[in-house]
Structure 1
Amino acid sequence: MTHGVRGRAVRWFGPKDLRLETVHLPHPGAGEVLVRVAWCGVCGSDLHEIADGPHAIPVDRPHPLSGAVAPLTLGHEFAGEVAATGPGVADLPVGAPVAVEPNYRCGRCRACREGRTEVCAAFGFAGLMGDGGMAEYALLPAYMVHRLPDGFDLAVAAVLEPAAVALHGLRRSTFAAGQTAVVVGLGPVGLLVCALLREAGAGLVVGVDPVPARRELARRFGADAVLEPDADVAGTVEDLTGGDRAHVAFEVVGSQPAVDTALASLRSGGELLLLGLVERLVLPAFDMVNAELRITTSVGYRDCHPELIRLVTAGRLDLAALVSDVVTLADAPAVLLDLAAGARIAGKLLVDCRDTS
C-alpha cells in the first residue's frame, strides 16, 4: 500500500450539497494511521452543517491543524481496523480494531500544556474541520486512534465518541453517587448521560424529552422517570424527591426552554451542566444568586475512551442499545439530507462504511 488507497466518501460541498465521491488517500506519513472504516455514526452537528452550514467547516482558509478546507469528508463518530501506519507509530499493527477520538490538538498552546486538549487553541474535529470517517478509509494522526480489545464490536465502537461527550460532561459536574439528576434532552448524548449516571450510582434519574420513543428508550438507559417538557417537571421532581428537587440538571438540547426547565428542577445549591450548544441565554440571575445555583459547561472530551472501553468490555455499559437505524454508505447522502430537513429517529444512526461490492 505504498501509494495509498482509493475509496468512497460522503463529502460536504455546501448546505444541502452532499456527494458520494471516490477520493485518494496517500500512504500514512510520520505519526499517521490509515484506518479502514467499518461504521460511522451521524451526529446532530453533521446535520446542522448539512442543513445550513458552514458552522464549523472551514471554507475560506484551511484549518490550522488538519490543513483541510471544504469540500471535506463528514463523520467524526467512527471505528474500524488499521490498514497502514507511518513511521513512528507503535502498537497499532495492521488489522487491529480501533476506535477514533477525533479531536485535533496542537500540544503547544496553554490549554494543551495544562492537559485540557478539548479546548486547544486550534481545536477541531476530524469530520468537521478535517476529513473524517464517513468513508471507506480515513487518514488520521496516531494520537486519535485507540486500539480496542480483539473481538470488540466495531458498530459499538462507533458510539464511543458520543459516549465520551456524555462522560466528560458527567466528570465536569459535581454529581456524586446517591444524588438526584435531571437530564433535559434524550437524544443520543442525553441517553448516554442517563446510562452513565446510573453506572455512577445515581439515586434518581429523571429524563425529559418531547419524543415518546426517546422517553421509552431512556428507561432502558437508566432513567427512573421520564417526562414531557410541557409537564410540570419541577413539581414532579419535587414530588419524587420529597421536596428536595435535583442536585444536578444536565441540559443536552441547546435551547432557552430546555435551560429554563433544567434550572427550575434544581434544589438550592444545585448545579446546571450545559452540554447543549446555544448562542445566547437569558438567566434568572436574582433567583440563581439567592439559591446559590452553579452553572458548569462542558465541551468535547479528554481521556474518556479508555474508561468507556473498559465499561463496555465488562458489560456495564450497553452502547448497542442506542443504535436504532443503519444505512449503507451509498445511501447515506439521501438519508442525511432527509434528517437535516427534519426527519427524526429515536436513537443513533450508523453508516455501514464497509465495501460490500
Structure 2
Amino acid sequence: MRADRHRMKAAVWYGARDVRIAEVDVPTPGRGEVLIEVAYCGICGSDLHEYADGPHAIPVVEPHPASGATAPLILGHEFCGTVAALGPSVVGLTIGDRVAVEPNYRCGTCPRCRAGEYNICRHFGFAGLMGHGGMAEYAAIPAYMAHRLPEAVSLEQAALFEPASVALHALRRAGTTPETVTVVGLGPVGLLTVRLAAERKVRRIVAVDVSPDRLHRAARLGATDLVDAGLEEGAGARIRELTGGEGVDVAFEAVGSESALRTCLAATRRGGRVVLVGLAREVSLDAFALVNNEQSIVASVGYRDTYPELIRLVAERGLDLTPVVTSTIALDALIPHGFDALLGGPGDQVKILVDPAAHRDRFDHLAPYAASAGMAKHASSGRGRGC
C-alpha cells in the first residue's frame, strides 16, 4: 500500500522527448467537473507529435483560455472510465457511471458554439493537449465531456470513440452517403473511416497505404479494394482503373501530406469531393484541374454530436471498433512500448491503449481518499470494465 493515498501516476509532458511518468496529486473536481477513474487512454498521433518535437498545441507560455492550463501538462485525450467524484453543480451523472470522454473544450457563447458547431469554438482545444488529460489514473474534466454508457457498451469500445468520432465527422463532411470512396492512409482514423463507411453500406471502399499489414487490416474492416500507395504508375491511376476510369465519389486524405492529397485528387471523379482529415501544413495543387473537374476540397476537424451515434451503433447494431487495437500497455511502459514503438518500431502497431491500472489494484491505495471525497460507492464497485 502506498504511503501517500492522495497521489497518482500520470504521463506529464515537460518538453520534446521529455514525458515523465510522475507522481502527482489526484485532482479535485471543481464546479461543473467530474473526476474520472481512467480505464483506458489511447495514444494518438497528436501525442506522438508533441512527444517527438513539440510543443505544437500544448500551451507553454499563455494558459489556454478554456482550460487555464500550461505545461507541464498531463497528456491523453482518447480516454474513458468511471465517474469517481462529482464537483459542485453537476447534474445528470452519478458516482459509478461508466462514461466515454468527448475531450473537446467549448465556451458555449461564441458564434460557432451558439450555432451548434462547438468543434470550431473560438477557444477550441482538447483535454490532454490544451489542458490536463487522461493518461493518468484519474482525470478531472468538465461534466459536459462525459457520455454515460449503457451496459451493452464496454469500456474497451468506448476507448475508441474519440478517433472513431474523427472518422464519423469526416464521413458527415462528405455530404450524402457516397457510392464509392477511397481512404488514403490507414492509421487508426483511416481504418475507422473504412469501418464506418462499411457500416453505412458504401458499395466500394478503396483502401490505400504502403503497409501490407494495414491493407489487410482494412480488408477485415470492410474495404473492398486494396491499393499499394507506392505503385509506380500511381495509386490514383490504379483507383481510376478499378472504377472504370470514373474515379470515386469521395476521397479521404488521412495522412497529412501533399502526396496523399494529390493521390486523392487523382482518384476522385469529376464533381467529386476530397475530405482533408490529416494535418498538413503548406501544400500545392493544380487549381486549373480542380476547377475544370469541379472537384471540391473540404476540411474536417475534430467532431461534434458524434458520441450518441457511436454509442447507438455499438449498443444496438453491434459495431465493433476494437480490431484497430494492436496492444494494451501499462502506464509505466508508455515511452518504450508506446511512443517509441509507434515512432520507430517495425510498423506493426496501429492503436495502442494505455491501462493506468495495469498490474496493480487501483482501489486499494485510494480507498481512504475515496471515502473522504464521497467516493465510497465507487471504491467498492470493482474495476467496472462492463465487458
Q: Report the Cα distance in structure 2 between the residues aligned to 1:341 and 1:247, rounded to whole angstroms.
A: 33
**Structure 2 residue identity aligned to 1:82:** V
RMSD: 1.5
Instruction: Label 1:141 to 1:212 Cα distance change in 2 as closer, same or farther (>3 A).
Output: same
Q: Specify the alignment match of 2:153 in structure 1.
A: 152
| Contact persistence 1:48–1:340 (CA under 8 A) | no
Q: 1:13 aligns to what SS in structure 2?
A: strand
Q: Specify the alignment match of 1:348 in structure 2.
A: 351
Q: Specify the alignment match of 2:269 in structure 1.
A: 267
Q: 1:273 aligns to what SS in structure 2?
A: strand
Shift of 1:337: 4.0
**Structure 2 residue identity aligned to 1:216:** H
Q: Specify the alignment match of 1:277 in structure 2.
A: 279
Runs of 4+ in 1 over 4 A off after TM superposition: none
Q: How does 1:161-310 map onto structure 2 within 5 Å?
A: 161-177=162-178, 179-231=179-231, 232-310=234-312
**Structure 2 residue identity aligned to 1:122:** H
Deviations 1:70-121 (A, max 9, x none): 0111100001000001122122111111010000011111111111111111
Deviations 1:183-215 (A, max 9, x none): 000100001111111111211000000111111
TM-score normalised by L of structure 1 = 0.95
Q: 2:328 aligns to what SS in structure 1?
A: strand
Q: Report the Cα distance in structure 2 between the residues aligned to 1:87 and 1:338, rounded to whole angstroms.
A: 40
After TM superposition, the structure 1 stretch with the greater mean CA deviation from structure 2, 18-27 or 318-327, is 18-27
Q: Report the Cα distance in structure 2 between the residues aligned to 1:340 and 1:190, rounded to whole angstroms.
A: 16
Deviations 1:10-37 (A, max 9, x none): 1111000011111113432221000000
TM-score normalised by L of structure 2 = 0.88
**Structure 2 residue identity aligned to 1:197:** A
Q: Specify the alignment match of 1:324 in structure 2.
A: 326
| Contact persistence 1:207–1:223 (CA under 8 A) | yes
Q: Specify the alignment match of 1:18 in structure 2.
A: 19
Instruction: Label 1:195 to 1:26 Cα distance change in 2 as closer, same or farther (>3 A).
Output: closer
| Contact persistence 1:9–1:73 (CA under 8 A) | yes
**Structure 2 residue identity aligned to 1:161:** E
Instruction: Label 1:325 to 1:340 Cα distance change in 2 as closer, same or farther (>3 A).
Output: closer
Gaps (5+ residues) in structure 1? none
| Contact persistence 2:188–2:350 (CA under 8 A) | yes
Shift of 1:307: 0.2
Q: 2:38 aligns to what SS in structure 1?
A: strand
Deviations 1:115-171 (A, max 9, x none): 111111111100000000000000000011100012532122111000000000111
| Contact persistence 1:131–1:138 (CA under 8 A) | yes
Q: 2:332 aligns to what SS in structure 1?
A: coil
Shift of 1:216: 0.7
Q: 2:64 aligns to what SS in structure 1?
A: coil
Q: Report the Cα distance in structure 2 between the residues aligned to 1:174 and 1:16, rounded to whole angstroms.
A: 40
Shift of 1:50: 0.3
| Contact persistence 2:8–2:24 (CA under 8 A) | yes
**Structure 2 residue identity aligned to 1:89:** V
Instruction: Label 1:345 to 1:92 Cα distance change in 2 as closer, same or farther (>3 A).
Output: farther
Q: Report the Cα distance in structure 1 between the residues aligned to 2:72 and 2:278, rounded to whole angstroms.
A: 27
| Contact persistence 1:103–1:123 (CA under 8 A) | yes
Q: 2:344 aligns to what SS in structure 1?
A: coil
| Contact persistence 1:16–1:337 (CA under 8 A) | no
**Structure 1 residue identity aligned to 2:25:** H
| Contact persistence 2:250–2:272 (CA under 8 A) | yes
Instruction: Label 1:26 to 1:237 Cα distance change in 2 as closer, same or farther (>3 A).
Output: closer
Q: 1:81 aligns to what SS in structure 2?
A: strand
Shift of 1:345: 3.5
Instruction: Label 1:211 to 1:175 Cα distance change in 2 as closer, same or farther (>3 A).
Output: farther
Shift of 1:340: 6.0
Q: Specify the alignment match of 1:111 in structure 2.
A: 112
Q: How does 1:114-129 map onto structure 2 within 5 Å?
A: 114-129=115-130
Q: Report the Cα distance in structure 2 between the residues aligned to 1:151 and 1:259, rounded to whole angstroms.
A: 39
Identity %: 52
| Contact persistence 1:105–1:112 (CA under 8 A) | yes
Q: Specify the alignment match of 2:40 in structure 1.
A: 39
Instruction: Label 1:92 to 1:134 Cα distance change in 2 as closer, same or farther (>3 A).
Output: same
Q: Report the Cα distance in structure 2 between the residues aligned to 1:76 and 1:85, rounded to whole angstroms.
A: 20
Q: Does 1:78 align with 2:79?
A: yes
Q: Report the Cα distance in structure 1 between the residues aligned to 2:196 and 2:152, rounded to whole angstroms.
A: 23
